Amino acid sequence: MANAEELMRATVRRIVPYSPGKSSAEVMADLGIEKVTKLASNENPIGPSPRVIEAMCEAASEAHIYPDPQCVELTDALADMLGVDPATVVVGRGSDEVIHMLGLAFVDPGDSIVFSVPPFAVYPYTARLMDAEEVTIPHRGFRHDLEAMADAIDETTGLVFISNPYNPTGTIMTAEEIDAFMSRVPDTCIVVFDEAYFEYADAPDYPDTLAYVREGRRCAVLRTFSKVYALAGLRVGYGAAPVDITNALKQVREPFNVASMAQVAALAALHDREHVERCVAVNREGREFLYAQIGQMGLDYVPTQANFVFVDVGMDSVECFDALMRRGVTVRTGDIFGLPTFIRVTIGTREQNETFVTALRETLAARGSRPGPR
Ligand SMILES: Cc1ncc(COP(=O)(O)O)c(C=O)c1O
């Protein structure tokens, strides 16, 4: 009997399954510890608004009914908040699913997808799934090299991904830089502004990409409920794009793609602006605290506009990860991003940040006292 590998589409063999790293439960079981401070996945440490929990409890008794396939109420509320027509908004099972829909709708085999390296993992995944060519542009000083990205666009290009703020470094591209880039992009491809972390960005020159959507430019703006709204476990994200693009996405969207509980929670989260503001404020305080502590350790970091910091720990990031994990803290290693002395740490609550700082200090001290070459 043929092995499934032989039956598989050739392009699927190129896909490396997403590796989330060890779960907190695994770490606790392996090390026999009772608590893990998880700062590995850029989740919101505050958790959902109490209003969201209340709304979900109320909605629980309706779980036997299929969800609204068009997410009408949520779409209308989003459109209202964004100042766009509801027809230009599409809701997905996380912004991951909207990226997937963009691939399904707009990328033919042999087309190319342009993105920076290191990339957010779902961009190469989408390229491989669609049998597209990955056109990868090295980061320049931890930022997107928009000139090189514009140079790389040709008639085969289906999508261009720009995560802004950039995961994993936390940098942003400014309004002026994005404008200059957009003036070079032909209308044969779609520019995807992946703004999963935009609510955290406080730089005055952060671009208003929704203006391009309102102008009907070939672009899509993606945002999510997984970060500042603290609903990562429910999987809700959305895209705003000119109506011909959203219509195409609706053609490939699975029926009932967003669970009813997720729709209800997202709607309630959207209405609790105070909670959002609190989450942003806690993140900002945590960022300043981490900058100060990391600076005191003599380490370099990339100033961030998101809810994570990319830190050069000056040692092998996998070794650093292991040492932190033994102290009950998980982060992301930079080796997967091609930057092997960096770690990406999510900004947590004050208590979590202190736990991380103590663990990192101990890790560096233990390494410093070890004899032999470093
Ligand atoms: C840059 C970027 N885009 C998109 C996402 C996906 O978010 P979602 O949970 O909405 O699928 C993430 C999640 O970490 C991200 O970092």
Q: CB within 8 A of 297, min separation 6: which ones?
A: 360, 361, 364
If 0-12 CB within 10 Å is exposed, 13-18 middle and 19+ buried, where does residue 233 land? exposed
> Quick check: is 7 in a domain?
no
Q: Which of 253, 271, 289 is the last residue of a domain?
A: 271
Residues 174, 135, single domain; the answer is yes
Residues 127, 244, single domain; the answer is yes
- Looking at residue 295, its amino acid is G
Q: What is the pLDDT of residues 301-352, one digit of tens each?
A: 999 999 999 999 999 999 999 999 999 999 999 998 889 999 999 999 999 9
**Which residue has its alpha carbon closest to ligand 1 atom 16?**
167
pLDDT at res. 106: 98
Residues 42, 92, single domain; the answer is no
Cα–chain center distance at 88: 22
Angle at 323 between CA 317 and CA 326, to 5 degrees: 140
pLDDT at res. 369: 59
Establish how many alpha carbons lie within 13 A of residue 357's alpha carbon, considering only the half-sphere containing its beta carbon: 21
Q: Which of 271, 300, 318 is the last residue of a domain?
A: 271
Report the domain count for the chain: 2
Residues 216, 246, single domain; the answer is yes
Residues 343, 236, single domain; the answer is no
The answer to whether residue 188 scores a pLDDT higher than 70 is yes
CB 43 within 8 A of CB 141: no
Residues 168, 299, single domain; the answer is no
226 lines ligand 1 (CB under 6 A): yes
**Which residue has its alpha carbon closest to ligand 1 atom 13?**
196
Average pLDDT, the chain: 95
> Quick check: is 288 in a domain?
yes
> Quick check: is 8 in a domain?
no
Residues 290, 182, single domain; the answer is no
Region 117-131 average pLDDT: 97
Residues 362, 220, single domain; the answer is no
Q: What is the pLDDT of residues 204-249, one digit of tens each?
A: 999 999 999 999 999 999 999 999 999 999 999 999 999 999 999 9
How many of the other CB atoms lie within 10 Å of CB of 201? 19
Q: Which of 271, 303, 322 is the last residue of a domain?
A: 271
- Looking at residue 189, its amino acid is C
Between CA 211 and CA 219 the distance in angstroms is 10
> Quick check: is 6 in a domain?
no
* Residue 362 CA to ligand 1 centre (angstroms): 31
Q: Supply the range of the domain harboring residue 187.
A: 50-271
Q: Per DSSP, what are the bridge partners of residue 114?
A: 135, 160
* Residue 37 CA to ligand 1 centre (angstroms): 21
We report the CATH number of the domain holding residue 293 as 3.90.1150.10
237 lines ligand 1 (CB under 6 A): yes
> Quick check: is 9 in a domain?
no
Residues 212, 300, single domain; the answer is no
Name the pTM for this structure.
0.95
pLDDT at res. 370: 52
pLDDT at res. 371: 45
* Residue 261 CA to ligand 1 centre (angstroms): 20
Map tokens 């779902």 to a residue.
122
Between CA 232 and CA 224 the distance in angstroms is 9
Residues 20, 113, single domain; the answer is no
Q: What is the pLDDT of residues 40-90, one digit of tens each?
A: 999 999 999 999 999 999 999 999 999 999 999 999 999 999 999 999 999
Mutational pocket test of ligand 1: of 169, 224, 332, the residue with most ligand atoms within 8 Å of the beta carbon: 224
Mutational pocket test of ligand 1: of 96, 161, 344, the residue with most ligand atoms within 8 Å of the beta carbon: 96
We report the CATH number of the domain holding residue 223 as 3.40.640.10
Region 29-40 average pLDDT: 90
CB 160 within 8 A of CB 190: yes
Residues 208, 143, single domain; the answer is yes
The answer to whether residue 355 scores a pLDDT higher than 50 is yes
pLDDT at res. 20: 72
Residues 27, 175, single domain; the answer is no
